[in-house]
């Protein structure tokens, strides 16, 4: 993680069946793993009935086994303290419409102050799970600036941007082919540099036009989802 600091992450995918799930956590607890800074993945069990919709308690054995592991390594579920009153879920069972927060990130208690921006987001790939994310800061690391600008990949599929790239590229080829003499001000290198400048400006302009619309739509959908989840629901059969 840094020259004088290591980060030990344990990625898990726990079994679905209750007895196997409990044994999974016990096996990890009994293993000689040393310090665990972060435990993350699909736990296939929830610790609190509020993390299921309709709300219900999971079997006692896997819950207690997971809690014993967390107690041994002083791990805490960071999303819940950051969103104490919010309902959030990472998995939807389409056949029953039941939801659950199976995917979690546990961090060592001493690291909790280094963590921020806990959220549940769309992973960007086809999957039936949402993704839990957190920002973990190394406050001892040297300052790193923004870096160089890069074009957003989605612009490569944008029809307006494609047309602009083709037009600018054709203009560059035409100008280079039309050179009869080379001067310090006008040569293939300066023409190409000018082409890159125009392309970057066009990409930035198009991103400013397109991204806010996408972000506004995504935020509207997230807001609708949050409002729906916070509404009272019947618990239904246990």
pLDDT-derived band at 236 (thresholds 50, 70, 90) equals very low
Distance CA 236, CA 234 (A): 5
Q: Are 104 and 115 in contact (CB under 8 A)?
A: no
Q: Map residue 109 onto helix, strand or coil.
A: helix
Mention every residue, 6+ apart, whose C-beta is less than 8 A from residue 129. Answer: 42, 90, 91, 102, 103, 123
Q: Which residue has the higher pLDDT, 54 or 5?
A: 54
The reported pLDDT for the residue numbered 173 is 97
- Each residue's pLDDT tens digit, 127-157: 899 999 999 988 777 777 888 889 989 899 9
* Cα 20 from chain centre: 28
- The pairing of strands 38-42 and 103-108 is antiparallel
Does pLDDT of 237 surpass 70? no
Claim: this prediction has a pTM higher than 0.75: no
pLDDT-derived band at 219 (thresholds 50, 70, 90) equals confident
SS (H, E, C) 37-49: CEEEEECCCCCCH
The reported pLDDT for the residue numbered 233 is 57
Tokens of 109: 């208690």
Distance CA 92, CA 95 (A): 9
Helices (H), 76-187: 79-82, 159-177
The reported pLDDT for the residue numbered 232 is 66
Place of tokens 């921006």: 117
pLDDT-derived band at 107 (thresholds 50, 70, 90) equals very high
Q: Are 90 and 102 in contact (CB under 8 A)?
A: yes
Does pLDDT of 168 surpass 90? yes
Domain boundaries, the chain: 9-136, 153-230
Q: Map residue 211 onto helix, strand or coil.
A: helix
Among 77, 85, 82, which residue's Cα sits nearest to residue 118?
A: 82
Distance CA 126, CA 148 (A): 30
Mean pLDDT over 73-91 rounds to 95
The kind and range of the H/E element at 230 are helix 188-230
Among 7, 66, 67, 64, which residue's Cα sits nearest to residue 38?
A: 7
Place of tokens 């086809």: 126
Mean pLDDT, rounded, of the chain? 91
The reported pLDDT for the residue numbered 126 is 86
Q: Domain 9-136, CATH 3.60.10.10 — does that match?
A: yes
């Amino acid at each position: 993680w840094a020259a004088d600091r290591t980060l030990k992450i344990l990625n898990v995918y726990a079994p679905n069946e209750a007895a196997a799930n409990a044994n999974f956590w016990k096996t990890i607890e009994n293993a000689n793993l040393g310090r665990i800074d972060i435990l993350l993945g699909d736990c296939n069990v929830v610790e609190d009935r509020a993390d299921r919709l309709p709300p219900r308690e999971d079997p006692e054995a896997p819950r207690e086994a997971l809690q014993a592991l967390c107690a041994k390594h002083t791990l805490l579920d960071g999303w819940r303290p950051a969103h104490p009153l919010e309902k959030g879920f990472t998995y939807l069972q389409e056949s029953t419409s039941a939801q659950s927060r199976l995917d979690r990130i546990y961090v060592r208690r001493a690291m909790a102050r280094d963590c921020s921006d806990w959220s549940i987001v769309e992973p960007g790939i086809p999957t039936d799970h949402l993704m839990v994310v957190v920002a973990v800061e190394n406050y001892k690391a040297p300052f790193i600036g923004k870096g160089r600008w890069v074009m957003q990949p989605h612009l490569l599929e944008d029809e307006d941007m494609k047309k602009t790239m083709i037009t600018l590229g054709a203009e560059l080829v035409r100008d280079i082919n039309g050179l009869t003499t080379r001067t310090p001000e006008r040569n293939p290198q300066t023409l190409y540099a000018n082409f890159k400048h125009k392309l970057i400006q066009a990409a930035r302009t198009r991103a400013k036009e397109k991204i806010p619309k996408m972000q506004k739509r995504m935020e509207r959908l997230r807001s609708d989802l949050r409002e729906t989840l916070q509404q009272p629901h019947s618990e239904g059969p246990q």
